[in-house]
Structure 1
Amino acid sequence: MTEAMSTKRLVTWLFVLVVGMFGFGFALVPIYDVICDAFGINGKTNSSAYAGGDEVVDETRDIRIQFISSNAEGMVWRFGPETSELVLHPGEPQVVNFTAHNPTSKPMVAQAIPSVAPSTAAAYLHKTECFCFEQQVLQPGETVEMPVRFIIDPGLPREVRRMTLAYTLFDVTERMSDLIEVAALQTN
């Protein structure tokens, strides 16, 4: 085989490899969603408020919902729900408060990312108000109460009797410096 043919073959293989890698990059999100659905992990909730309708309360069913909070690496706030568990009826509006405290000597911005388990229940958890819809700015030493108002859709499959709503709090201060400046101006 000549050197020119060898080079042409190498270029062809490299081109196929690049196209394959590009295609794999596009396929990652659907693959991730399929794996999460298959294993019941990382239930995604809506990132905007539920407008709601006239849900009928299903008093024949009890749903036990657990609330969990955690801080991502580097987040120093004290953050958690006021109650760790609640028993409710589907269709019944509920409010659970979370408390956040900034123990530092500087303003900070946080973003909460929610997750629901089992993931099949995520589509039936309708939040009408949630601190996770926007970033939270806390001044030094400030403590705030942040409500989550929600309804469990009566269409929740009957086999789901327990749910977990988890929030992970991330420090986004560096990316949101403009938001801190605006909040400081509003408090003065």
Structure 2
Amino acid sequence: MNQRVPDKHRKNRRTTLLLSGLVVAMFGFGFALVPLYNLFCQITGTQSLSQRSQIGLATPTSERVDQARWVTVKFDTTVNPNLPWEFVAETNKMRVHPGQTYEVNFHARNRSHSAVTGQAIPSVAPWQATPFFSKLECFCFNKQRLDGSEKTIMPLQFMVSTKLPAEINSLTLSYSFMRLKEADSDDRENALPPMIASAPDQ
């Protein structure tokens, strides 16, 4: 009986040490998530969240057009299943001269019968080309609201920098349109109430 008590204490102490070590390991892993995520993005060529947030903030600089160089810019579009829209680019790709401004239109249509608000999230691949792709005007800078069955054209003005690394001769600009449910609810709250016809005077 006396031997069981020390054994029980040892087991409890061992369990406590194991749980404490697990908590410390989880705490350290939480701090390591960010650098591990950035390393993963670099290895796979995926953009990190910080890089994506800087895409829409890119500002053009005055550059001389490089007429001797061509860069192929491809356009890719996806729509989240929660967003009842059609969203396509008018062309799949363009050949451009670095330093020159170009414009391309994107077509969107609300397939539902009610107003829906969406937001386009851009990304550039390969990620190394991100700092060298500038948007002068882009629908992705703001929320986009379409009434039921409404169609619209969303223009994009862009420029590829002449400082784009020489080994990159092709890049892909992708847009993923997401639904903003909070904006939808705001639209419903701000909508005017239906007019009620008054009964004619008797």
Shared fold (TM-score greater than 0.5)? Answer: yes
Q: Is the 8 A contact 2:55 2:123 kept in 1?
A: no
Partner of 1:162: 170
Amino acid at match of 1:139: D
Amino acid at match of 1:125: F
Amino acid at match of 2:132: Y
Report 1:119-138 matches (<5 A): 119-138=127-146
Say whether 1:18 aligns with 2:33: no
Deviation string for 1:104-127 (max 9, x for gaps)?
A: 011111121112111111121111
Distance 2:13 2:169 in 1: 61
1:80 deviates by 0.8
Partner of 1:109: 117
Q: Is the 8 A contact 1:71 1:169 kept in 2?
A: yes
Deviates more, 1:67-76 or 1:17-26: 17-26
Q: Is the 8 A contact 2:110 2:147 kept in 1?
A: yes
Change (3 A) 1:163 1:54: same
Q: Is the 8 A contact 2:124 2:172 kept in 1?
A: yes
Partner of 1:66: 74
Distance 2:189 2:56 in 1: 23
1:183 deviates by 7.3
Partner of 2:184: 177
1:76 deviates by 2.1
Distance 1:129 1:182 in 2: 30
The unaligned stretches of length 5 or more in structure 2 are 1-5, 193-202
* More relative contact order, 1 or 2 (CA 8 Å, 6+ apart): 1
Distance 2:66 2:172 in 1: 20
Choose the corresponding residue for 1:7, options 7, 12, 16: 12
Partner of 1:34: 39
Distance 1:37 1:131 in 2: 28
The unaligned stretches of length 5 or more in structure 1 are none
1:162 deviates by 0.5
Distance 1:33 1:78 in 2: 33
Distance 1:136 1:109 in 2: 5
Choose the corresponding residue for 1:143, options 140, 143, 151: 151
Change (3 A) 1:125 1:15: same
1:47 deviates by 4.6
RMSD of aligned alpha carbons: 2.1
1:64 deviates by 0.4
Deviates more, 1:113-122 or 1:152-161: 113-122
Amino acid at match of 1:93: T
Q: Kindly name which structure, 1 or 2, has the bigger radius of gyration based on alpha carbons.
A: 2
1:155 deviates by 0.8
Amino acid at match of 1:102: N
Deviation string for 1:39-91 (max 9, x for gaps)?
A: 22347442543333212211121000110101123322000111111000111
Change (3 A) 1:184 1:87: farther
Give identity over the alignment, percent: 35
1:11 deviates by 2.0
1:177 deviates by 3.5
Deviates more, 1:1-10 or 1:126-135: 1-10
1:25 deviates by 2.6
